[in-house]
A = this chain, B = another copy of it.
Amino acid sequence: MKKTILAFSLLILALLLLFQFSKYSIVTGNAEIEIIFAVIAIVFFVVGYVIHKKSLTQKHMGQGDIDNDKIKALDISDREYEVLQLIHEGLSNKEIGEKLFLSESTIKTHVSSLLVKLNAKRRTQAIQIAKSQHII
Contact = CB atoms under 8 A, between A and B. Distances in A.
Interface of A: 15, 19, 22-23, 26, 33-34, 36-37, 40-53, 56, 87-92, 120-129
7 contacts: A26-B33, A41-B41, A41-B44, A45-B51, A87-B124, A90-B122, A92-B121
A89 B128 contact: yes
Contact of A124 (B120, B123, B129): B123
B23 A33 contact: yes
Integer count of this chain's copies in the complex:
2
Interface of A is mostly: helix
Contacts of A41: 15, 40-41, 43-44
Contacts of A44: 40-45, 48
A26 to B, nearest CB: 6
Nearest to A36: B37
Contacts of A40: 37, 40-41, 44
A50 B128 CA distance: 33
Given A90-B126, A126-B90, A51 B53 contact: no
Nearest to A54: B52
Contacts of A26: 33
